């Protein structure tokens, strides 16, 4: 009997607690004169960068790394209904990125930064450390392949065929490029004990792997 070709998709998802959080923030200011705006943002940056420097320990945390970009200056003219030309408003902004491994300290730092003029948090990305990520990705890929095998056997059994044998495995879907396993997470602010307290409640990191596999099966008779 001619072997039957069975093409299936295998997937697997695991959820694990995040190990680190990378926060993106901005210090900004604006005013009628460029120099005072620049000086105000520079002073705020010195405060925030100093608070990160004393926390930064690449191996132990609570901050494993951080970066500060250059201060960018700009200006704009406020619109007026009568189309009169107003004096320009000068702006300054600088992005800051920091990776925390202690989420309680991150929450405390964000709360402290709320008192720094011009501070704004633009987002937090929750993730795994490199060693843990590689281990989880490997396990997820293996389980995705096993899922594909189970699906192929189900189809073979439905057709009263014999054992199945894998002939190819591809990380991509039909006609697609091979993807990396997907890591996703989100978090929400959670009320803490005191009225002025702030805490973060991260969701688990979701790691998903997907494969396309081709099997062959012949009649068991």
Residues 6+ apart with CB under 8 A from 59: none
Instruction: Give the Cα separation of 204 and 124 in Å (integer).
Output: 14
Confidence at residue 177, expressed as pLDDT on a 0 to 100 scale? 37
Per-residue pLDDT reduced to its tens digit, 53-67? 999 999 999 999 999
Select from 70, 82, 220, 78 the least CA-distant residue to 160. 220
Element (H, E) at 167: strand 161-170
Answer whether residue 88 shows pLDDT above 60.
yes
**85: number of Cβ within 10 Å:** 7
Instruction: Report how far apart, in Å, the C-alpha atoms of 82 and of each of 74, 88, 150 are.
Output: 24, 16, 71
Confidence at residue 1, expressed as pLDDT on a 0 to 100 scale? 67
Enumerate the β-bridge partners of residue 211. 10
Q: List domains and CATH numbers for the chain.
A: 4-17+131-219 (3.30.110.170), 20-127 (3.30.70.360)
Angle at 192 between CA 186 and CA 195, to 5 degrees: 125
Per-residue pLDDT reduced to its tens digit, 6-39? 999 999 999 999 999 999 999 999 999 999 999 9
DSSP assignment of 7-43: EEEEEEEEEE---EEEEEEEEEEEESSHHHHHHHHHH
Least confident interval from 21-25, 83-87, 134-138, 183-187: 183-187
Answer whether residue 89 shows pLDDT above 90.
yes
């Amino acid at each position: 009997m001619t072997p039957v070709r069975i093409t299936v998709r295998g997937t697997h998802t695991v959820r694990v607690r995040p190990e680190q959080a990378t926060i993106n923030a901005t210090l900004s200011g604006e005013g009628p004169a460029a120099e005072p705006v620049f000086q105000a943002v520079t002073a705020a940056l010195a405060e925030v960068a100093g608070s990160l420097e004393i926390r930064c320990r690449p191996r132990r945390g609570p901050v494993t790394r951080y970066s500060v970009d250059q201060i960018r200056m700009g200006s704009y003219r406020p619109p007026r209904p009568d189309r009169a030309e107003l004096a320009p408003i000068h702006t300054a902004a600088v992005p800051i990125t920091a990776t925390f491994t202690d989420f309680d300290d991150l929450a405390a730092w964000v709360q402290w930064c709320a008192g720094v003029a011009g501070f704004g948090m633009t987002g937090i990305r929750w993730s795994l450390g490199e060693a843990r990520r590689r281990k989880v990705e490997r396990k997820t890929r293996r389980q995705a392949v096993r899922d594909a095998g189970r699906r192929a056997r189900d189809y073979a059994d439905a057709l009263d065929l014999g054992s199945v044998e894998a002939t190819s495995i591809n990380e991509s879907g039909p006609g697609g490029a091979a993807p990396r396993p997907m890591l996703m997470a989100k978090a929400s602010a959670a009320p803490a004990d005191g009225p002025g307290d702030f805490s973060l409640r991260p969701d688990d990191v979701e790691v998903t792997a997907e494969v396309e596999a081709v099997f062959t099966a012949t009649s068991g008779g």
